[in-house]
Amino acid sequence: EPQSGPDLSPALAPVRWMVGDWEHPGGREHWVATAGVFYGVGFLADGGFEAMIIDDAPADAEGKPDGVLRLFAMPGGAAETVFTAADHDPEALRFANPQHDDPQVIAYAPGGDALTATVSGPRGELVIPMTAVTGEPAPEAEAADVAFARATDAEGADGWVAAFAADGAMMRAGARVEGAAIRAMMAPLLGRADLLWEPVWSRRSPDGQWAATVGRARIVERARVTWRGSYLTIWRAEADGWKVVFDVGRDEQPL
């Protein structure tokens, strides 16, 4: 049975300075290490969100690391764009994707209780100074996440899709999945196995309209754990409670 591993993989441990809660003129950015992955979420001052992952395994590698750090950027829950780190400088992170229209480079550098992000491309360079803040947990979203897991365990695909907003989506194999395709993708798995998870971290947006939960997950088939991973879920407060707007996960590195 695959056992749960540490939050910081050998490749991520030297750049643990990324983990934390950061404020900048355009909003807030939050990073957490879970099961060998950095999950990042940005809450924008003008509304909306950004979902990000830093991992040392390609998206299709089933968690097997290759020693190369990658930034998976999903602004607003869009299909992921992959930026690859060129080196392993523990004092800076620089990710590049020359084929992307803009930006083509995303870099982070620490400085005491501050973090500087630099975004550059054909339209120019933007330097974003960030200062450390105290992140606000989102207990209501954590409770909604737990209820989501229990409903899925009890009702299968019906419980899974009921948690999603009308415009909600999942990211699977680098592509955005939405609408009826969510049920079609999840029904075979949930018909033969149990997908179990629990949140370990949460953050709320300053306006209270958005929240993020991060946690660990596992698949159980015939009373045996066959897979372990982690996830990031973005929630939005609606009239009937918190609803899933975006969900993405990663396989855990084999141990």
pLDDT at 213 over 70: yes
pLDDT value of residue 255: 55
Tokens of 252: 């855990």
pLDDT value of residue 58: 85
- Specify the higher pLDDT residue, 63 or 39: 39
Phi-psi category of residue 96: left, alpha or beta, with phi > 0 → left and psi -120 to 50 → alpha = beta
pLDDT value of residue 1: 67
pLDDT value of residue 43: 98
pLDDT value of residue 125: 97
Q: Which has the closest alpha carbon to 141: 85, 215, 59?
A: 215
pLDDT value of residue 36: 93
Integer CA distances (angstroms), 196 to 3, 146, 161, 199, 201, in order: 15, 10, 15, 11, 16
Average pLDDT for residues 148-161, to the nearest whole number? 98
Bridge-based pairing state of the strands 241-251 and 164-172: parallel
C-alpha torsion 83→88→93→97, nearest 10? -20
pLDDT value of residue 59: 77
Average pLDDT for residues 105-128, to the nearest whole number? 96
Residue 18: CB atoms within 10 Å: 18
Residue 87: CB atoms within 10 Å: 8
Which residues, 6 or more positions from 125, have their beta carbon under 8 angstroms from its beta carbon? Answer: 118, 119
Integer CA distances (angstroms), 183 to 159, 208, 216, 243, in order: 10, 29, 22, 16
H or E element in which residue 7 lies: none
pTM, 2 dp: 0.95
pLDDT tens by residue, 170-206: 999 889 999 999 999 999 999 999 999 999 999 999 9
Average pLDDT for residues 203-226, to the nearest whole number? 96
Give the model's confidence band at 23: pLDDT under 50 very low, under 70 low, under 90 confident, else very high: very high
Average pLDDT for residues 5-30, to the nearest whole number? 95
pLDDT tens by residue, 49-93: 999 999 998 877 787 888 899 999 999 999 999 999 988 788 999
- Strand-pairing partners, residue 127, are 118
